[in-house]
Amino acid sequence: MTYVIGANCIDEIDRACVEVCPVDCIYVGGRKSYINENECIDCGACEVECPVDAIFVDRRARKDPELARFLEDSRAFFAEPLPGRAEPIGNPGGAQKLGDLGVDTPFVAAFEA
């Protein structure tokens, strides 16, 4: 189980979620932030903080193809090499160590609202 950041975050990146995440599992990309599902503890602290209502719980994605695309994309952000990197970032165990990654998945990089 995990929370997922959806389309509303794109070009917004408020970071309110990053501040409240107790396990530091929200990674800042170029146009949006991404939650690592293997590190998320499903506490929901981020969901209520998001000023643009971008965050949803993965269970909602089962019924909504738009949300499902962002769940799948969040997995890809960690599991597949990002543009300009040879290796996937995997499960680093904390976003702070990495800093802003400044890069997105091809899906988000090309996303037009």
Partner 1 sequence: MTTTPETLTADVLIVGAGPTGLYGAYYAGFRGLSTIVVDVLPQAGGQVMALYPEKEIRDVAALPSIRGRDFVANLVAQADTYAPTYLLGRQAVSLDHESDEPVVTLDDGTVVRARAVVLTAGIGTPTPRPLEVGAEWLGSGLSYFVIDPAVHADRDVVIVGGGDSALDWADALASIARSVTLVHRRKTFRGHAATLARVQESGTAIHTDTEVVALDGDLAAGVLEKVTLQARSGEQVVVAADHVIAALGFISDLGPLREWGVELSGRSVAVDRAGRTNLPRVYAAGDLTDYDGKVRLMSVGFGEVATAMNHVAVELDPELTLFPGHSTDDAA
Binding site for partner 1 (CB under 8 A): 14-16, 19-24, 41-45, 49, 51, 93-94, 96
- Reported as half-sphere exposure (CB side, CA atoms, 13 A), residue 98 has a value of 18
C-beta of 43 vs 106, nearer to partner 1: 43
C-beta of 23 vs 79, nearer to partner 1: 23
What's the chain look like in SS3?
CCEEECHHHCCCCCCHHHHHCCCCCEEECCCCEEECCCCCCCCCHHHHHCCCCCEEEHHHHHHCHHHHHHHHHHHHHHHCCCCCCCCCCCCCCCCCCCCCCCCCCHHHHCCCC
Q: How far is the CB of 22 from partner 1 (least distance, A)?
A: 5
Q: How far is the CB of 69 from partner 1 (least distance, A)?
A: 27
Q: How far is the CB of 16 from partner 1 (least distance, A)?
A: 6
Q: How far is the CB of 26 from partner 1 (least distance, A)?
A: 11
C-beta of 11 vs 42, nearer to partner 1: 42
What is the distance between the alpha carbons of residues 107 and 112, in angstroms, rounded to a whole number? 10
C-beta of 65 vs 99, nearer to partner 1: 99
